[in-house]
Amino acid sequence: MAKGSLYLSRMMLTGANVLILDEPTNHLDLESITALNDGLIAFSEVILFASHDQEFVSTVANRIIEITQGCAIDRTMILKMIWIGGDIGGSGMN
């Protein structure tokens, strides 16, 4: 897997404008998944990926196009924000 990680890092640093990934978190340990998430979140270009990892999808994706037999469903993701601590600007969120 180290060889794959090196290729991915190289593509992200050399100006690639599209990454296509198939189940990118398979066979990765937690530390590697965290590093991959952080790197993909920082990547400002287009990422197309297929994944069954719900946590990965919810942290990386801002749009999902679900393709099923006979149709496609286009969904825009809403970013989850967790506030730790007191009230934020009177919004009532704790």
Strand 18-22 relative to strand 46-50, pairing: parallel
Question: Which fold is adopted by the domain 2-76?
Answer: Rossmann fold (3.40.50)
- Distant-in-sequence, close-in-space partners of 56: CB < 8 Å, separation ≥ 6: 24, 25, 33, 37
Residue ranges of domains in the chain: 2-76
88 burial via Cβ count (<10 Å: 0-12, 13-18, 19+): exposed
For the cut 60, the answer to whether the pLDDT of residue 8 exceeds it is yes
Which pLDDT does position 4 carry in this prediction? Answer: 67
Buried b (16+ CB within 10 A) or exposed e, 43-67: beeebebebebeebeebbbeeeeee
Res. 23 pLDDT band, cuts 50 70 90: very high
Q: Cα separation of 23 and 67, whole Å?
A: 16
Which pLDDT does position 39 carry in this prediction? Answer: 87
Interval 43-80: pLDDT, tens: 888 899 999 898 899 888 888 888 888 888 888 866 55
Which pLDDT does position 25 carry in this prediction? Answer: 92
For the cut 70, the answer to whether the pLDDT of residue 93 exceeds it is no
Interval 27-53: pLDDT, tens: 889 998 998 898 888 888 889 999 989
